[in-house]
Chains A and B, each alone.
Chain A
Amino acid sequence: MIDEDIAEATLKSAGSRADLLLAEVRIEERNLRDLSVKSSQVNNISTFQDAGMNVRIVLRSGVGFASSNVVSKAEGLRLVKHALKLAKTAARKNPVALSEEPAVKTTWEVRQKKPLVDVSTEEKLEYLNSLDSAVMKTKVKVQGRYYEVKDYELSGYFANSDGSRIRSFLPRIKIESFNLVSAKGQTAQSIRQWGASGGWERKDEWDLLDGLPQEMRMLKKQLEHGKMVKPGTYDLICGSEVAGIAAHESCGHPMEADRILGREMSQAGKSFVSPDMVGKQIGSRYATVMDDPTVPGTYGYYPYDEEGVKARPRYLYKEGRINEFLQNRETAARMGVQSNAASRSEFYLREPIVRMANTFVAPGDFEEDEIIGDVKNGVLMHSFTEWNIDDKRYNQKYVSREAYFIKDGELAGPAKKCTLEITTPGFWSAIDAVSKKVAFDSAECGKGDPMQSMAVCTGGPVLRLRSVVLK
């Protein structure tokens, strides 16, 4: 149980200096468990408890952040002194400003039907072994078989000098798989992840006992019957997984205000987007991309960000135009807007920075068979394996894990290694149809220095891109 008095005493010790813009204290407790199985054998069982705190001091002259895995009033006092010293060290040329945000006093939690803490190691192992057995029963040759379940509960208490006091409880579960399928002297890999906020019950929604064997059979078919795509111009149907990664990489990331302002310039990079591009056309009218932390149960769910700002859906690209950047209080003040609650940190040891939550292409009004039915000569890229994008978020590449040719509106056999290498405006401008149903995938997003792995979702409906070059 987090001792709120420690946070209050720590905050009080930050004082009320004339140059103090903000003082924040966060205390966290984490209970983590991890179990992995490799080729039907236990690889690892880990469990640990963790508690720690951080202090962030924002002066006009700079920002100082100090954190520790010791929680006490004395440690709080030490962290305040340290953070103050570090903030002064920064000596910014341009004074720091923060957007004015209302103080929040609240408690929030994500409920669990089957609490993660009550699930025994035996039950988890049985579940992972049942996945492995289901894969083995397919009779597909699967050389590599690795499965891992991670789950944790995160309790937090946040207090700032503006008067916010937020108590939170967030359980999360994640299952990862690595499989390597062989057929006809070739191999294909499948690296997958499923994640959610909530209890052990959430895994049932993923239906992996059916889904993983299907994936193995699919990869075998791709290897046995897949034909290479002849390089050329095609209509491309992107499944939700591909729509989601494009939303994340070529919309979510370039719309992060800290990146736009250059703060990530030597790590994750800058952005092709500049502050004056709000309203600029980036895609067709079908290209609407949202980032919404408030979708219940998602892996990237949170109702208040790490600066205590209430979360809301953000329309990043709206009907093909650049609409709204992801902001924290500092970037918002520099751009003359309010924060939209995009400040997150992986855990108490790391500074909060601008991050995505659940980034997805908004649904349209087409049926999926309608989208495919109108393609004469095309390819359906259902899912991807290799992908990357440059650090200005302009040139991206997606290579299919599962793809099919489309002839006269019908699927016409598996397509191997379908490769799309395209610019960001090229991708979003080519869309002429979007299906009604959005599906989410969970992912870990990397950003920050030290790298912070962040729980997010990517997602989307099925998209149709007209006349794009496939390699």
Chain B
Amino acid sequence: MSALKGTAQQVMEIALKAGADDAVAEAIETDIKQVRFSNSQIDAVNAWTERNVILFVAVGNRVMSSDLRELDKLGPLTEQVVSLAKRAPPSKTYGGIASGKFKYAKPKFDKRILSLDDPSEPVLEAIAGAEAEGAVNVGGTLFVRHISTGIASSGGALAFDENASLDLSVRAFSQPEASGHTLSCTSCLSALKPRETGQRAGQLASRAKNPVQGEQGKFDLVIEPMCLTELINTTSNMMSAMLVEIGSSMYAKKIGKPVASKHVTFVDDPTIESMSRQNFDHEGVPTRRNVVIKDGILKTYLHSTSTAKRFKTKTTANAGFPIPTPFAMPNQPMAFHPVVVPGGWKVDEMISDVKKGLYINNAWYTRYQNYSTGEFSTIPRDAILRIENGEIVGAAKNVRVSDNMLNLWKSIDALSKNTEEIYWWDEAAPPSTVPTVRIRQMSITRSS
């Protein structure tokens, strides 16, 4: 597997020889298998294989990037990219790439995941688990992911990383409008809990039976890790220095100021064992634990070398891809593994202190009126349970959380002891490790 490191180094050296001043080459091998299931049976089994090299070059401050996908033509393609860079218009804001003597953690991953020959077995277990708890219709996916990366840069980066992971998503229905959604996301084969994951989805679906029309007004919310990660998707994006630069972030001009309640500490930590553990960012800088929000106070944005230079600070090792990707702008620094530091509460205790509220399993479709101010809404979609006087008294449907995202984070007053690793369908993303949280007095609306 050091072959990938060799490929990256070779491409980087060709780029320098062709006239590049800076070059970063990232050689990636991706093997993914997916089992899709719905209506309690498997629909399709898909597999995809990608081999590519993502190349960034700069000639002076003329920059160019490319995704090289014809591996038998890496030499001429690399030379062509450098040639295009020489003719490219200058980028006055280009701040260079990181340089130094980098030390990397040794790649660790669970090789047993690669030997999971028939991923349909855990899927059938999950379906059975949900059905045993009252589900009548079960759907979801199981992904088996194996990603290897070699990186080399003219700034001294040279490293290899490899990770394998499993993510099982189970959505169970007990009635057409009563569902529960659970996940088992792990980088360790023995930690995959298909039956338990299915059972819990089935239990939530059963508790969500016979939902009544939700009410409008102010409610306390107790939201599960899946729902919180749905909100972290946009929240962590807005921590990116590039989003701050273009005015698309509620965190602009808020360094050192309160952006969450004092109970909230928000970290980006790609160094812990997780689906998104990675040893280096897309510039080749060793990743690290970055405390973004400490006790409610915003401490930093997420930076690459270039954005850090513009903000007169240092990179946080969060450089993103130099090419466009589905959920980020090119060169956008990004969170790799958000972690919300847990609190000391049991979920039952959090509920028992709520007079009138909602317990929410999952949400989707978070959209903003204005990213710079944080006005948003999101739609709870699984197991919306009504809380009255500290007890769950039934289920609700057809409600929307319509509030302000800064206000939401400032209104968190309790975090659970237990956390869960979450990744679901690019909605609850990037892979995150978070607790259940309680949020006071959120605005709930519904269709008139």
Contact = CB atoms under 8 A, between A and B. Distances in A.
B377 A90 contact: no
Contact of A451 (B90, B322, B426): B426
B52 interface: yes
A41 interface: yes
B368 interface: yes
B45 A189 contact: no
Contacts of A265: 38-39, 137, 139, 171, 173
Contact of A70 (B51, B91, B366): B51
18 contacts: A44-B324, A49-B77, A62-B44, A64-B45, A68-B50, A86-B45, A94-B41, A145-B246, A178-B246, A189-B371, A189-B372, A261-B38, A263-B39, A263-B43, A265-B173, A267-B141, A395-B398, A397-B377
Given A66-B48, A449-B34, A395 B447 contact: yes
B367 A386 contact: yes
Given A36-B330, A265-B38, A63 B43 contact: yes
B89 A453 contact: no
B42 A38 contact: no
B378 A388 contact: yes
B425 A449 contact: yes
Interface string B158-198: 00000000000111010011000100000000000000000
Contacts of A43: 91, 93, 329-331
Interface residues of A, number: 87
B381 A391 contact: yes
Interface in B288-336: 322-324, 326, 329-331
Contacts of A104: none
Contact of A266 (B139, B324, B372, B400): B139
Interface string A63-83: 111111110000000000011
B257 interface: no
Nearest to B169: A266
Contacts of B38: 261-266
B321 to A, nearest CB: 10
A150 B368 CA distance: 24
Contacts of A62: 42-45
A52 B77 CA distance: 17
Shortest beta-carbon contacts, A-B, top 7: A144-B247, A180-B247, A469-B448, A44-B330, A86-B45, A266-B171, A265-B139
A151 to B, nearest CB: 12
B69 interface: yes
Contacts of B44: 62-65, 86, 90, 351
A144 B248 contact: yes
B365 A89 contact: no
A466 to B, nearest CB: 14
B101 interface: no
A92 B246 contact: no
A386 B425 contact: no
Contact of A34 (B39, B63, B324, B373): B324
Interface stretch (A361-369, A370-378, A420-428): A420-428
A394 B399 CA distance: 11
Contacts, number: 269
B70 A51 contact: yes
Given A64-B46, A67-B47, A146-B248, 7 more contacts: A49-B70, A67-B49, A180-B246, A189-B247, A264-B38, A270-B176, A417-B369
B235 interface: no
Interface residues of B, number: 89
Interface string B113-153: 00000111000000000000000010111000000000000
A66 B47 CA distance: 5
Given A47-B81, A91-B120, A449-B141, A395 B446 contact: yes
Given A86-B47, A394-B398, A422-B447, A385 B322 contact: no
A42 B69 contact: no
A236 to B, nearest CB: 12
Interface string A82-116: 11001101111110000000000000000000000
Interface string A178-197: 10100000011100000000
A69 B64 contact: no
A122 interface: yes
Contacts of A47: 64, 66, 81, 84
B88 A45 contact: yes
B410 interface: no
B326 A453 contact: yes
B68 interface: yes
Contact of A89 (B118, B246, B371, B448): B118
Contact of B87 (A94, A121, A450, A453): A121
A424 to B, nearest CB: 9
Contacts of B329: 36, 43-44, 146, 148
A303 interface: no
B176 to A, nearest CB: 8
Contact of A38 (B65, B68, B93, B366): B93
B345 interface: no
A189 B425 contact: no
B301 to A, nearest CB: 15
Contact of B447 (A180, A269, A392, A421): A421
B245 interface: yes
B245 A34 contact: no
A63 B92 CA distance: 51
Given A63-B43, A69-B52, A394-B398, A187 B91 contact: no
B104 interface: no
Interface string B355-396: 000000000111111111101111101000000000000000
A390 interface: yes
B366 to A, nearest CB: 8
A212 B85 CA distance: 30
Interface string A435-471: 0000000000010011101000000000000001101
Contacts of B448: 421-422, 426, 468-469, 471
Question: Which of B84, B176, B247 gathers most chain A CB within 10 Å?
Answer: B247
A262 B89 contact: no
Given A62-B42, A90-B43, A91-B42, A143 B88 contact: no
A67 B48 contact: yes
A98 B377 CA distance: 40
B21 interface: no
A250 B89 CA distance: 44
B263 interface: no
Nearest to B45: A86
A46 B66 contact: yes
